[in-house]
Amino acid sequence: MSGQAALRRDVAIVSWASFETPSEPARNEVEMLLPVVQEALGKVGLTQQDIGFTVSGSSDYLQGFPFAFVGALDAVGAWPPIRESHVEMDGAFALYEAVNVLQEEGIDTALVYAFARPSRGEVDRTLALQLDPYYVAPLWPDARGLAALQAQAMKDSGRFGDVPDLPPTYVADGCVAVVLAVGDRARELTKTPAWIRGIDHRIEPPSLGVRDLTTSPSTIAAGDAAGAAGADAAWLHVPYPHQELVLREALGLSGATVDSAAGPVMVGGLERLAAAAAGIAAGKARRAVAHATSGPCLQQNLVAVLEGVAQ
């Protein structure tokens, strides 16, 4: 999809709320999510029954609980039955689905949320299960080890100057909720909607051996389709510090203010979209890029372009 052209209806981020802590000791996923969902809805005076489409991003593998994403619906209340979906990915990719569903007449609002408590498991090992189940996952290459291969390839390329050393995988628990609305509905709900002018996501081959890990063709393609050129600020999802260098190059961000964060796994990307919307609402940026990634070594990348004025 070439972002701007394909959005028949203008969609804006109108509200958001988030929570992050190094390790949530006592509350379960639903208890962590409830106040955050309520806050995001409450800021624009909505209840779950006003929402046309609900979608979440999370991974049951982190919770070790089959259909954990269904249990999380306790945090929104699915009665009378709601129109709902889920992606086993970062919540940013759930937002992409919501933007597409909002192109349908009759659905004017969407709630997107993401949650994870990776502090309770072994996230580096758990993420190995994203890999090829027959030839790669049984070797248990941990997430940090794969990121280190990428950092080493960058050092060897000589293209990046100083490549930062690899810290331990960032582990935090948290959740984020984002409310979307279309056209006049968005203008009713807030004085400062952050309009999604373009959004696109691309994936690279699953086999790490066929990729050049020092570049991110999927980010370049998603950025082109979303219209990232000319942005004056960017909110990048950077699970490991060296990846910021690859993303800056892929998005051509020279001259733009860049804010990078990892965030909790499955949550960090959607948090970047919320942070970019906050930047637009606060007048810190005119045209903002929000980026989210999922998978090993920036395998999948989503780029959205936000502005304070509608098309």
Partner 1 sequence: MSEPVTIVETPIKLDFSYTPGVASSRFLRSLEKGKIVGQRCPKCKKVYMPPRGACSMCGVATDEELILSGKGTVCTFCVTRIPTPGLDAPYVSAWIRLDGADITSMFLIQECDPEEVRLGMRVEAVWVDEADREPNLGNIKYFRPTGEPDADYDTYKDYV
Q: Which residues bind partner 1 (CB under 8 A)?
A: 24, 26-28, 30-31, 34, 37, 48, 61, 63-65, 73-79, 117, 120-122, 125-126, 129, 133-134, 137-138
In one letter, which amino acid is 232?
D
Q: How far is the CB of 282 from partner 1 (least distance, A)?
A: 29
Torsion sign, CA atoms 250, 256, 261, 267: negative
Q: How far is the CB of 6 from partner 1 (least distance, A)?
A: 32
Provide the token pair at 10. 């203008």
Please identify, using beta-carbon distances, which residue of 24 and 271 lies nearer to partner 1. 24
Q: How far is the CB of 101 from partner 1 (least distance, A)?
A: 20
Residue 79 to residues 76, 83, 187, Cα–Cα distance (Å) = 9, 10, 28
Q: How far is the CB of 1 from partner 1 (least distance, A)?
A: 32
Please identify, using beta-carbon distances, which residue of 26 and 210 lies nearer to partner 1. 26
Please identify, using beta-carbon distances, which residue of 140 and 229 lies nearer to partner 1. 140
Please identify, using beta-carbon distances, which residue of 139 and 210 lies nearer to partner 1. 139
Alpha-carbon span 237 to 112, nearest angstrom:
17
Please identify, using beta-carbon distances, which residue of 30 and 149 lies nearer to partner 1. 30
Please identify, using beta-carbon distances, which residue of 77 and 145 lies nearer to partner 1. 77
* Contact criterion met (CB below 8 Å) for 44 and 108: no
Q: How far is the CB of 85 from partner 1 (least distance, A)?
A: 17
Q: How far is the CB of 47 from partner 1 (least distance, A)?
A: 9
In one letter, which amino acid is 291?
H
Please identify, using beta-carbon distances, which residue of 126 and 214 lies nearer to partner 1. 126
Q: How far is the CB of 24 from partner 1 (least distance, A)?
A: 8
CA dihedral in degrees (186, 188, 191, 195; nearest 10)? 10
Q: How far is the CB of 171 from partner 1 (least distance, A)?
A: 14
Please identify, using beta-carbon distances, which residue of 1 and 30 lies nearer to partner 1. 30
Provide the token pair at 201. 């996501």
259 has which bridge partners? Answer: 235
Alpha-carbon span 35 to 158, nearest angstrom:
47
Please identify, using beta-carbon distances, which residue of 64 and 167 lies nearer to partner 1. 64
Q: How far is the CB of 203 from partner 1 (least distance, A)?
A: 23
